Chains A and B, each alone.
Chain A
Amino acid sequence: MVELARGQEDAREPVTEVTGAMDVVFKHSYGEHYDRFYREMRDNKRIVGIKCTRCGGVLLPPRPYCGKCYAPTREWVALSDEGSLLTYTCVHLPFIGQPTDPPYVYAFIMLDGADVQFPHMLGEIEPEDIEVGMRVKAVWNTDRKGTLHDIKYFRPV
């Protein structure tokens, strides 16, 4: 063993960092409820919700239970693809995972027949013309794969 005195280290460059990268791929199971939800969108251009057996609320996305009542859901309900705009934001900032290049508009929409808000995007309208409360309708893609992007965006009615 050789004792190293302070200041006598033979190394010149400090060792500062190691690059870490996570390359874990996830296959998240949709499960029964998302399966039905996205199949309806893909095959029937239909948005379906599910009813709580206690409060009767029509929930989106469909799930086995109502979180508010902690009761099971049962009845599937077809909703309109039209509704009212509740809130929106115009995205100017670029970030990883965006569905399209900014600027674009995220929106929460109360679909006719639903009791919870549906998250999507707005199109065919300039941000300065958007008004909360305005009526909007889904524009469906022709090439549908069973995802939320089977709807292109919502446009003013």
Chain B
Amino acid sequence: MEDVGVVGWAQTRYGRALVDETPQSLIYSAVTGALDSSGLSIGDIDAVIDAGSDFLDGRGISSCVTVDAMGAQFKEESKVAGDGLLAAIYAYMRIASGLFSSAVVVAYGKSSESSIRKQTRTMAEPFYLRSLGLDALSAGALQARSFMRQYGIGPDACAAVAVKNRLAGVKNPHAQLRKEVTLEQVERSPEIMSPIRKLEACPITDGACAVVMAEGGIARSISARTAWVTGIGHSADAYSPGVRDLHRAASAKRAALSAYKMAGVNDPLSELDLLEVSEFYTYQELMLYEALGLCGEGESADILKAGVTGPGGRTPVNPSGGVLCANPLVATGLVRLAEASAQVSGRAGDLQVEGARKALAHAGGGLAMQTAACIVVER
């Protein structure tokens, strides 16, 4: 199998509603930015893998529309209807197989163009859950309570995740929300769906992200600072939230185990220098501590409180501020890979975790974290 490295990445600006941008203009700026940062040009690229949601886009088979903007004319182009991190896994496999030598991965979303609440409601199938109007937020809220009750996690622990991530986001030039919040502000923000409060939910974000991946020979020839992909994993739990142990992120655990096994990571807490995870709501980051192997069952609030996952901690989680600071839906997980790659290659600027060599990027999808994808990158 070929070595595969992440050699370039770029994020567009993010905003609640980028009315002066089309999906195409966002894609073009992300892809050209990622190519520039890699030192490769579009002519060097074999494959383009994109992630988008036709429903969010309001366009059928949207990749037909976005081909030009992605630089995919007459290249091997294919689309993932899911988070962009999954697109990165597809690109990894294409290159690892030896059939392709390089790929552009791009993901984008303009959640502002329609109603995100109506959009996530369609994730519920029409025969059962949809009749209740169940959407991503309400499914998340049901899971939050189940998790908090199972392990005696207090609302203050969840709120503390928002405080930690929003503070980190202040230093992130890409973040949509760059203002810190206090514990009191989080706990006094309106309860939008109990137990989730307004400041515990991610914002609605327009934007795009792209990464460039290449096989070892190319990566070594263009840069001495490649983020090598050493582990991948993805996993899907049962569709119906009703049949799952809601207090466990079982698919994230499986995805991480695959990635860790491949990367030879035995103890993530001591071997990883940081993690970038997809926490759409505060409680999810705590659940992920457990699922991604940073702590034992029910210990997530303890390691957060002890500062293990905070800035300067043993294993910082979301030094970028995470999804609570920007959620360019569909690109959300790919952003985690861009941030993790920047960290392990020492190019994270103000966000740099000192001496970072190995990191995990995580993406979540579906109602109440049904699916997960993980990638380990290292220097």
Interface residues of A (CB under 8 A from B): 18, 20, 22-35, 63-68, 70
Contact = CB atoms under 8 A, between A and B. Distances in A.
B22 A30 contact: yes
Contacts of A22: 122
A70 B69 CA distance: 8
Contacts of B267: none
Nearest to B115: A24
Contacts of A66: 68
Contacts of B73: 67-68, 70
A65 B28 contact: yes
Given A25-B115, A70-B73, 20 more contacts: A18-B126, A20-B126, A22-B122, A24-B55, A24-B115, A27-B112, A29-B18, A29-B110, A29-B113, A31-B21, A31-B22, A31-B24, A33-B22, A33-B25, A64-B25, A64-B28, A65-B28, A67-B68, A68-B73, A70-B71
Contacts, number: 61
Contact of B113 (A20, A23, A26, A34): A26
A53 to B, nearest CB: 13
30 contacts: A18-B127, A20-B126, A22-B122, A24-B55, A24-B114, A24-B115, A24-B119, A25-B114, A26-B113, A26-B114, A27-B112, A27-B114, A28-B22, A28-B58, A29-B20, A29-B21, A29-B22, A29-B113, A30-B22, A32-B20, A32-B25, A33-B22, A33-B25, A35-B20, A63-B25, A65-B32, A67-B68, A67-B69, A70-B42, A70-B73
A65 B18 contact: no
Nearest to A22: B122
B99 interface: no
Interface residues of B, number: 28
B243 interface: no
Nearest to A31: B22
Given A67-B67, A70-B42, A70-B73, A34 B114 contact: no
Given A20-B126, A67-B68, A70-B42, A26 B25 contact: no
Contacts of B118: 23-24
A20 B22 CA distance: 29
A44 to B, nearest CB: 21
B1 interface: no
Nearest to B74: A68
Contacts of A25: 114-115
Contacts of A29: 18-22, 110, 113
A55 to B, nearest CB: 13
Contacts of B112: 27
A63 B113 CA distance: 20
Interface in B119-133: 119, 122, 126-127, 131
B300 to A, nearest CB: 36
A70 B24 CA distance: 13
A65 B68 contact: yes
Interface in B14-36: 18-22, 24-25, 28, 32
Contacts of A64: 24-25, 28
Contact of B69 (A20, A23, A65, A68): A65
A40 to B, nearest CB: 17
B42 to A, nearest CB: 4
